[in-house]
Amino acid sequence: MQAMIFAAGLGTRLQPLTSDKPKALVEIHGKSLLERCLLNLKKQGINDVVVNVHHFSEQIIHFLEANNNFGMHIQVSDETAELLDTGGGILKAKSLFKPNEPILILNVDILTNLSFDALLDFHQKEKALASLVVRQRKTSRYLLFGKNHQLTGWENQQTGDRKIARIAQIEESTPYAFSGIQLIQPELLDLIEEQGKFSIIDLYLRLAKSQTISAFVDNQSIWMDLGKYEQLEEAESLVKKMELLSD
């Protein structure tokens, strides 16, 4: 496996911590989110990583250089000129990926001890073009999956907005919350028709009409999306718990 870390976000919900630094360099229990993400990948045997940058991009580049890329092979996809969202970010980084290895994609602000090997095993058994890690948790926006764990749609339960990929299966679908972790085949990159700034979820919804976009339902691992400043204390406790479990 190879990996891509989405580290280009503005981190506005983590203000004031991100007023002078990128979200990726916000520290939790003495280590930045980016360092924690990279070390988790390295511990699980993944050493080829692409990191996209935009907000305070020079700080992330300097951080990686100062730490000798943590002994990993890290390439930077520079979105300084324009923030491209998740789909556009992957498309821009296309030339940096190996053509014959699945690509693990994760947000830099995700704290988890999920087994990436378990995700890969599921992905290969399903023969999926993309496997999306999802959970049963409360949120406003859900991905919808049929009985065969195939992506059928998306809905915002607050606004009532809905996007349908497979109309024949939509009524029997189960809503799951996306965890910000996904595994894709490199062949998916050649199926991208969108240009510029676009969401990877919209790409999945388009491809799901004819391709296998599967749900990897994860309710066992520790997981947290550090989205708000008010969650820092919770994140500290979670990281300490994961460190104790890994000893």
What averages of pLDDT result for each successive group of 10 residues across the chain (247 residues)?
A: 96 90 94 97 98 96 98 98 97 97 97 97 98 95 95 94 89 94 98 97 97 96 90 90 81
> pTM higher than 0.85, yes or no?
yes
Could you list the residue range(s) of the whole structural domain that residue 175 is in?
Answer: 114-221
Q: Name residues whose C-beta falls within 8 Å of residue 142's C-beta, 6 or more positions apart in sequence.
A: 154, 155, 157, 175, 176, 177
> Any idea which residue has 């693990």 for tokens?
104
Q: Does residue 39 share a domain with residue 82?
A: yes
Is residue 240 domain-resident? Answer: no
Is residue 68 domain-resident? Answer: yes
CATH number for the domain that contains residue 177: 3.90.550.10
Burial class (CB in 10 A: 0-12, 13-18, 19+), 154: buried
Q: Does residue 125 share a domain with residue 102?
A: no
Confidence at residue 65, expressed as pLDDT on a 0 to 100 scale: 98
Greatest C-alpha distance within the chain: 53
Q: Does residue 98 share a domain with residue 2?
A: yes
Give the chain's domain count.
Answer: 2
Cis bond upstream, residue 175 (ω within 30): no
Is residue 245 domain-resident? Answer: no
